[in-house]
Amino acid sequence: MKKRIIIVGGVAGGASVATRLRRLSEENDIVMYEKGAYISFANCGLPYYVGGTIREKDALLVESVENMVKEFNIEVHNNTEVVDIDPEKHIITVKNVLNGETATDHYDRLILSTGGKPIIPKIPGLDQADNVFSVRNIPDVERIKNYIDAHNVRKVTVIGGGFIGLEMTENLVDLGLEVTLVEASPQVMAPLDFEMAQFVHEQIELHGVQLILNDGIARFSGNGHAVVLSSGKEIDTELTVMAIGVLPDSTLAQKAGVKTGIKGAIVVNGHFETNVPDIFAIGDVIEVKDFITGTQTLIPLAGPANRQGRFLADYLNGLDAKNPPVLGTAVAKVFALTVATTGKNERFLKQAGISYRVAHLHPNSHAGYYPGAAPIELKVIYDEQGKILGAQAIGTEGADKRIDIISAVMRLNGSIEDLQLVEVAYAPPYASAKDPVNYAGYIAADQRQGLVKTIEWDEVDALIEKQAYFLDVRESFELATGKLPGSHHIPRGELRGRLAELPKDQPIYVYCSVGLRGYNAARILALNGFDVYNLDGGLKTYEQAKY
């Protein structure tokens, strides 16, 4: 029987569910309401339009209203906000945002893909500022571009070091502007752990950005021409971008009695059904099941939104499709660096009381002897059963690839040992005969087999304090660049001949530059009866954490 399916929100989730609904039925009415002027636009491209990497606004329009009508026979109402839902009567009230006129419409099924809205905290002085912007849609970035041009802006502030804040930072730098980036927590990019985020901090500062961490915005002064931070510090600014996160845009749903949970996100079941009959929801506005923990969480990303749209269309047409748990695999370009993550980080696991082990490594992106190889800073986190809990990779090349491979293994419930077995396509320009992903598996397997005990970068200082026995196994010429205070030194190659110099009555903490030679040395010592630990990730991880 013919149904009238109404979709609220016409971008990632909304447009995806609409097209698939049409491919599965020519009969149903498929109706889309979008309060903005544009549907189906590239939210993710917005920062690059500001910076000029994407030159034409039209490039951001993935599908036009006209095509949606012509190619997909979808009834599209843009510039039209859905302002009310009557779930009993299956009727919505809509308002034309251009002329204020209202109307009603009847649905058999209602799909909410209303997305997330930027958080704009109520801070003093904001109301008096006409130069504070957030980045959600095309009009937003046009306003930013116009303001920069009209006021010949030179000095800008970005509040928030999440991926949107970072992308905006890079793009504003690309415009030649002087940028200050303010982040209230101790690090940018929450999916990273601190020691990994330090690589990003360094990169940001390398590009001339003034990075302020551990300090949040308290108020604006001078009609938005200064940002005053919690510390009292004042920053002159001609334009400010607020990018401190998004909240599920669920006001409409809540009014209609749709059940919400975390931060107001809509609660749906395995088929995207809300508690209200015939109302479904997808995208940034919903809670999803965390693939790792099995608990509910928010993962506002485009991939899941698109996938959920497609799967919901399937379900509504009687095909087998479920609301899949989400890993939250993500990536951002931060100047020359690619920063990619999947699953959970240590900070989260600590807070959640989930026990875990980690491995840090710094392998080459491709064979070291082929030009252009560069280190990938890789961290993997796994539990006692070998389940992979998360991974983080940073580098100028190939970081995204390694996280994607690990993400695939995680999705298939592979173990950390399975990383040893993944056949990564190898030729010198692309990988090594042992790929970074394989190394991660080997190193973790070594840990799990008890071949090596490790200490982490954040345990070093306390051990130095306690005058623990640190053994540096690098070559002599490497010591010039710094060593752990009080550490002893025997180059790895001399170790077997100098075992007598080492104490048998206390633990020995070996280290090298990245962990590899330390591990090899640790094996020699362990096999010779010493109680030995290797510094995971070597001096590089330890020192970078202190950057």
Ligand X SMILES: CC(C)(COP(=O)(O)OP(=O)(O)OC[C@H]1O[C@@H](n2cnc3c(N)ncnc32)[C@H](O)[C@@H]1OP(=O)(O)O)[C@@H](O)C(=O)NCCC(=O)NCCS
Which of 5, 6, 9, 50 touches ligand FAD (CB under 6 A)? 9
- How far apart (Å, rounded) are the C-alpha atoms in residues 42 and 305? 13
**84 vs 446, which CB is nearer to ligand X?**
446
Q: Look-up: residue for tokens 């690090």?
A: 187
Of 471, 501, 475, whose CA–CA distance to 486 is shortest? 471
**310 vs 387, which CB is nearer to ligand FAD?**
310
- Work out whether 421 is an interface residue with a second copy (CB under 8 A): yes
Query: Which residues within the stretch 506-535 sit at the binding site for ligand X (CB under 6 A)?
Result: 514-516, 519
SS3 state of residue 178? strand
- Work out whether 332 is an interface residue with a second copy (CB under 8 A): yes
Q: Which helix (H) or strand (E) holds 437?
A: helix 436-448
Q: Is 44 a catalytic residue?
A: yes
**Among ligand FAD, ligand X, a second copy, none, what binds residue 439 when CB lies within 5 to 8 Å by partner kind?**
ligand X
One-letter amino acid for residue 404 of the chain: D
SS3 state of residue 353? coil
- How far apart (Å, rounded) are the C-alpha atoms in residues 27 and 42? 29
Site string for a second copy, 487-506 (x = CB under 8 A): -----xx--x----------
Which of 361, 416, 502, 510 touches ligand X (CB under 6 A)? 361
- How far apart (Å, rounded) are the C-alpha atoms in residues 274 and 266? 7
**64-70-71 Cα angle (round to 5):** 85
Query: Which residues within the stretch 404-443 sit at the binding site for ligand X (CB under 6 A)?
Result: 433-434, 439, 442-443
- Work out whether 160 is an interface residue with ligand FAD (CB under 6 A): no
**223 vs 528, which CB is nearer to ligand X?**
528
The 8-class DSSP code of residue 233 comes to -
- How far apart (Å, rounded) are the C-alpha atoms in residues 437 and 416? 10
- How far apart (Å, rounded) are the C-alpha atoms in residues 455 and 442? 17
Minimum CB separation of residue 536 from ligand X in Å reads 7
- Work out whether 51 is an interface residue with ligand FAD (CB under 6 A): no
- How far apart (Å, rounded) are the C-alpha atoms in residues 538 and 518? 7
Piece of the chain touching ligand FAD by CB under 6 A; list 39-47, 312-320, 479-487, 515-523? 39-47
Which residues in 472-506 are b (16+ Cβ under 10 Å) and which e? bbbeeebeeeebbeebbebbbeebeeeeeebeeee
Q: Are 375 and 395 in contact (CB under 8 A)?
A: yes
Among the listed residues 3, 24, 37, 44, the single catalytic one is 44
Which of 414, 515, 537, 538 touches a second copy (CB under 8 A)? 414
- Work out whether 266 is an interface residue with ligand FAD (CB under 6 A): no
Provide the pairing of β-strand 217-221 with 226-229.
antiparallel
Q: Are 200 and 183 in contact (CB under 8 A)?
A: no
Piece of the chain touching a second copy by CB under 8 A; list 45-53, 100-108, 150-158, 456-464? 45-53
Query: Which residues within the stretch 31-90 sit at the binding site for ligand X (CB under 6 A)?
Result: 40, 42-45, 62-63
Gyration radius of the chain over CA positions: 27
Q: Which two tokens stand for residue 394?
A: 């940073």
Report which residue's Cβ sits closest to ligand FAD: 283
- Work out whether 67 is an interface residue with a second copy (CB under 8 A): yes
Minimum CB separation of residue 545 from ligand FAD in Å reads 27
Q: Look-up: residue for tokens 């009687």?
A: 318
**Among ligand FAD, ligand X, a second copy, none, what binds residue 283 when CB lies within 5 to 8 Å by partner kind?**
ligand FAD
Q: Which helix (H) or strand (E) holds 19?
A: helix 12-24
**33 vs 72, which CB is nearer to ligand FAD?**
33
- Work out whether 338 is an interface residue with a second copy (CB under 8 A): yes
- Work out whether 192 is an interface residue with ligand X (CB under 6 A): no
Minimum CB separation of residue 361 from ligand X in Å reads 4
The catalytic site residues sit at: 44
For binding to ligand FAD (CB under 6 A), which residues are involved?
8-9, 11-14, 33-36, 43-44, 46-47, 81-82, 113-115, 135-136, 164, 249, 252, 283-285, 300-303, 305, 426-427
Q: What residues make contact with ligand X under the rule CB under 6 A?
A: 11-12, 15-16, 19-20, 23, 40, 42-45, 62-63, 302, 306, 310, 361, 433-434, 439, 442-443, 446, 514-516, 519
